[in-house]
Chains A and B, each alone.
Chain A
Amino acid sequence: GENVEQHPSTLSVQEGDSAVIKCTYSDSASNYFPWYKQELGKRPQLIIDIRSNVGEKKDQRIAVTLNKTAKHFSLHITETQPEDSAVYFCAASTTGTASKLTFGTGTRLQVTL
């Protein structure tokens, strides 16, 4: 089955700096790669996603890149702010009617003043 690895597990940046979180996946049939943000005590919520026919997607301060050949994708957050502090999860979804969403182990991002 699909295996998603995520690095780093913790990341501390100063406010205004950029943050990059990287994920790799194993199943070449995966074609959907969402990123979720989970604030303390809250549910995970989608912040951005990318499909296999796109190499990069941007939404204001966040962007995601996908390299299907290397089977890795990354989340980039620019001009970080204290409210970006949270746990971020990458995920990959396989194709087909029995597809499922497999998550990485999460990255705890701390934005310091």
Chain B
Amino acid sequence: DAGITQSPRYKITETGRQVTLMCHQTWSHSYMFWYRQDLGHGLRLIYYSAAADITDKGEVPDGYVVSRSKTENFPLTLESATRSQTSVYFCASSESKGGRGLNTEAFFGQGTRLTVV
């Protein structure tokens, strides 16, 4: 469980401020993901990355920016926070066996509860 960590665990910010959520994994997994969890919507994919310097949009990317300069880190930035971005954010990582796509367990971080006021 200590292999993937998120920080901070809790964050309160004001509308319009920039916020960065951090995610770090120690397994050298090639895949990393950012999800947001809202009641009634389950886990919605924001951005994902198949390897360092490779990122792609998920289902709900608007208002978010990601980067992946190193395999182990995948920060998520809210450029100008809005109240609709109040949510619980989960980072996850996974490996791919045989280069055939995502077909092994995804491990989740503890989550970051973000409140935008």
Contact = CB atoms under 8 A, between A and B. Distances in A.
A100 B106 contact: no
- Identify which of B42, B100, B104, B108 gathers the most chain A CB atoms within 10 Å of its CB: B42
Contacts of B33: 100-101
A44 interface: yes
Contacts of A103: 35, 42-45
B42 A97 contact: no
B35 A95 contact: no
A65 interface: no
Interface in B103-117: 103-106, 108-111
Given A1-B59, A43-B90, A43-B109, A100 B43 contact: no
A81 interface: no
A97 B31 CA distance: 10
B103 A93 contact: yes
Interface residues of B, number: 30
A102 interface: yes
A45 B103 CA distance: 15
B26 interface: no
A91 to B, nearest CB: 8
A97 to B, nearest CB: 6
Contact of A96 (B44, B90, B101, B105): B101
Contact of B99 (A34, A46, A51, A97): A97
A46 B45 CA distance: 17
B48 interface: yes
B42 A45 contact: no
B50 interface: yes
A101 B106 CA distance: 9
Interface of B: 31, 33, 35, 40-45, 48, 50, 56, 58-59, 90, 92, 94, 96, 99-106, 108-111
20 contacts: A31-B100, A34-B106, A43-B108, A43-B110, A43-B111, A44-B108, A51-B103, A89-B42, A89-B43, A94-B101, A96-B100, A99-B102, A100-B33, A100-B48, A100-B102, A101-B92, A101-B94, A101-B106, A103-B42, A105-B40
